[in-house]
Amino acid sequence: MKAKWKARKTEIIEEAREAANLLDGYMRFRAEKEGLRYELTPEFYEEAILLLGIRSFFGVVVSGSKLVHDEQQPNMFEQWKSERERR
């Protein structure tokens, strides 16, 4: 049982880290397009996900290690996803 929990804990941390990195990349993209200054870090998002259980940031919904959608800027989110897939 202990080994299963340890493995799941590692998985949760990895998912949060992956989501945080994606979110940081998307928010940098969005801030640039909106002409806004951006000073947050992946660590900010990772801590908010892991320690506070937050799953929505500036309208961007996170589930597991994925960004689901952007409630505030859905077209920009689709543009970012499209550009990301082309790389």
Sheet containing 66-70, strands listed edge to edge, beginning at the edge strand earlier in sequence: 56-57, 60-63, 66-70
Q: Which two tokens stand for residue 84?
A: 């990301």
Domain range list for the chain: 2-86
Over residues 30-83, the pLDDT tens digits come to 999 999 999 999 999 999 999 999 999 999 999 999 999 999 999 999 999 999
Residue 2 has pLDDT above 80, yes or no: yes
Separation of alpha carbons 87 and 71, rounded Å = 25
Model's pTM, two decimal places? 0.90
Quick check: 18 and 65 in contact, CB under 8 A? yes
Residue 86 has pLDDT above 90, yes or no: no
